[in-house]
């Protein structure tokens, strides 16, 4: 089984690259995010690989990061989603955004991905929601730097069904007040006050 390819970038396009490894050219399908991370043709390259083997097909899928490959594998555990659909999803939206949409059960956002209709989006949420760590997802966000107590409050509010952007805004605002809450519990109580409902 091929875990990664280390070689020279022979050619590239937004969806496919050819990597020269010891004189052998490997054609690898890639998401747009990996394409954007590539150097120029002729440069050294290392891609993490997922092998897709069927009776009538043998395809290599390549990723610049482990997070992309791991999520690609996870997507294929959802019924009705094959490697081409999973690759299209990762090309249409970055992994962090897709994970966040699943955590927040944002079916509408997921249907904006190529090849994803409402039923498939609902299936994604149903089958993957409990497999995605909200803390890991939110920790990767480019949000204003917050102390641990504020970050924990955001996670608590999201777990209660609040959209991440609203939860973050409320918590960030509470951190900027003249007398900011001192504990995570106080932050949550303030956020749940009628003013914010």
Sequence ranges of the domains in the chain: 4-63, 66-132, 142-196
Burial classification of residue 172, based on how many CB atoms lie within 10 Å of its CB (0-12 exposed, 13-18 middle, 19 or more buried)? middle
Distance from C-alpha of 148 to C-alpha of 17, rounded to nearest angstrom = 42
Query: What's the CATH fold of domain 66-132?
Result: DNA polymerase; domain 1 (1.10.150)
For residue 144, the model assigns a pLDDT of 43
Domain 4-63 has CATH 3.40.50.2000: no
pLDDT of residue 146: 47
Give the three-class secondary structure for 65.
Answer: coil
Region of 76 on the Ramachandran plot (φ > 0 left; ψ -120 to 50 alpha; else beta): alpha
C-alpha span between 178 and 117 (Å, rounded): 47
Calculated CA dihedral for residues 51, 52, 57, 63, nearest 10 degrees: -70
Tokens of 21: 């490894």
Q: Say how far apart CA 76 and CA 80 lie, in whole Å.
A: 8
Per-residue exposure over 10-42, b if at least 16 CB sit within 10 Å of its own CB, e if not: bebeeeebbbbeeeeebebbbbbbbbeebeeee
State the chain's maximal CA–CA distance in angstroms.
Answer: 67
Q: Is the pTM of this model over 0.85?
A: no
Q: Which residues of the chain have pLDDT under 50?
A: 140-146, 196-197
Partners of 150 in beta bridges: none
The pLDDT assigned to 157 comes to 77
């Amino acid at each position: 089984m091929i875990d990664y390819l280390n070689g020279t970038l022979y050619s590239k396009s937004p969806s496919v690259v050819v990597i020269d490894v010891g004189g052998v050219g490997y054609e690898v399908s890639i998401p747009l995010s990996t394409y954007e991370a590539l150097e120029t043709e002729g440069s050294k390259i290392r891609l993490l690989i997922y092998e897709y083997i069927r009776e009538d097909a043998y395809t290599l899928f390549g990723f610049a990061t482990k997070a992309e490959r791991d999520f690609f594998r996870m997507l294929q555990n959802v019924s009705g989603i094959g490697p081409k659909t999973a690759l299209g999803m990762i090309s249409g939206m970055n992994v962090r955004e897709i994970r966040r949409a699943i955590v927040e059960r944002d079916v509408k956002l997921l249907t904006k991905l190529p090849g994803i209709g409402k039923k498939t989006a609902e299936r994604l949420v149903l089958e993957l929601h409990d497999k995605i760590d909200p803390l890991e997802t939110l920790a990767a966000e480019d949000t204003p730097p917050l102390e641990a107590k504020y970050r924990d409050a955001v996670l608590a509010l999201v777990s209660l069904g609040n959209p991440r952007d609203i939860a973050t805004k409320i918590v960030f605002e509470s951190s900027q007040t003249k007398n900011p809450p001192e504990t995570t519990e106080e932050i949550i109580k303030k956020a749940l006050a009628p003013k914010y409902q």
